[in-house]
A and B are shown apart, each in its own frame.
Chain A
Amino acid sequence: MILLQIALLELCVRVKYRYRTREKSLASLNWRHFWQWTKLSSYLEFLSLFTALVAIVVYFFIDNKPFMDAVGYCALLTEAMLGLPQVIKNCRNRSVEGMSLVMVLLWLGGDIYKATYFIINDSPFQFWLCGLLQITIDLLILFQVCLFRQNAPIKVSSRANDSPKEMMAI
């Protein structure tokens, strides 16, 4: 799963920054370029730093049950916020082209399954609440697909369609 995300990230970085406008890396420590680095190694460095930080914190607080519960809830909440960057990006671009509709539908199906699983198993309310939140965000993305459908009549198929504005957009 983590490997898949890294692979996807690698593809995005390779495709987006193939024209090499400016080199942005983690080493420059510019927080405005936070997740817009041009090299995959910057992303991997950030992830390993984050993993090390979390590992150190967990090592010291492993016996503290409320803290570990809080970590679990943070993980749950972060996963619930999954579609939110996509919503924001669709709003900024005013179009949904390039985003796979199948992906959003599979997200919706998976989240409905997860939410009903948590409701049926009488899990604490945080679980199915985050599931419901995720379903809401997925429905919001589908609403954006309906809304912006008229903005994307032609399929993006060649490099000539890349404008400088698209290259700089997140």
Chain B
Amino acid sequence: MGSQQSLDKATPEANVSSLIGPTNLIGDQDERILGSTTNSHPLNGTNPNDHDQSNGNLNDNNINLVGNATGTITSSPGSVNGTSFYDYDFNFDLLGNRIYPFRWIKPMLPYMKDWVGPLASVAMVIGCVLPYIPQYVKIHKNQNSSGFSTYVCLTLLLANILRVAFW
């Protein structure tokens, strides 16, 4: 099933529609969508340790690192010789393909790309606002604000002003 899928390189939709099998964990379909070349797929019958067809560089040179959510850019995510545990980027497998923590993430990516970012921002704003509403209600109901320190408001306001200035 996986080898039949990888032979079909023309339509991204067919690649996205495959929801079963370990091929979902390998990000070569991402590179196809992003317009870059891919290394040979292991299920094509090519031994991943066989470097005859590659240029000797285990890293795919055309990986679009914009999708790298870790913020760290490693020059050789697949290198295994002479590197330590701390140099291995677990967000990439040995072929240099992007892997995701859960299997269902990768097929959902084209559908999720538009709204996950703004949703995270909205959730961030709501999450900052939410804790202070019960406190507001409590002070308003009891008409007594001696339990809540207003220096907390000071700290928050200064932190937010500095953060706005930072950006």
Q: Chain A 82-95 against B: per-residue CB contact (8 Å), 1 yes, 0 no?
A: 11111011000101
Best-surrounded residue of B70, B129, B155 (most CB of chain A within 10 A):
B155
Q: Do A98 and B142 touch across chains, with their CB atoms under 8 A apart?
A: yes
CA distance A102 to B143 in the complex (A): 18
* Nearest CB of A to B124, in Å: 9
| Given A11-B136, A35-B151, A156-B144: A122 in contact with B156 (beta carbons within 8 A) | no
Q: Do A1 and B125 touch across chains, with their CB atoms under 8 A apart?
A: yes
Q: Do B71 and A82 touch across chains, with their CB atoms under 8 A apart?
A: no
The B126-162 residues at the A interface (CB cut-off 8 A) are 127-132, 134-140, 142-162
A45 at the interface (CB under 8 A from B): no
Chain A minimum-CB-distance residue to B156:
A5
Contact of B147 among A83, A98, A162 (CB under 8 A): A98
| Given A98-B145, A103-B131, A157-B142: A123 in contact with B156 (beta carbons within 8 A) | no
B70 neighbours in A (Cβ, 8 Å):
121-122
CA distance A121 to B159 in the complex (A): 22
CA distance A24 to B125 in the complex (A): 33
B75 at the interface (CB under 8 A from A): no
Q: Do B157 and A47 touch across chains, with their CB atoms under 8 A apart?
A: yes
Contact of A93 among B129, B136, B147 (CB under 8 A): B147
Q: Do B71 and A1 touch across chains, with their CB atoms under 8 A apart?
A: no
9 sampled A-B residue pairs with Cβ under 8 A: A2-B161, A4-B129, A12-B153, A54-B162, A54-B165, A75-B166, A88-B149, A95-B147, A122-B70
- Residues of chain B touching chain A, judged by Cβ–Cβ distance below 8 Å, are 69-72, 125, 127-132, 134-140, 142-163, 165-166
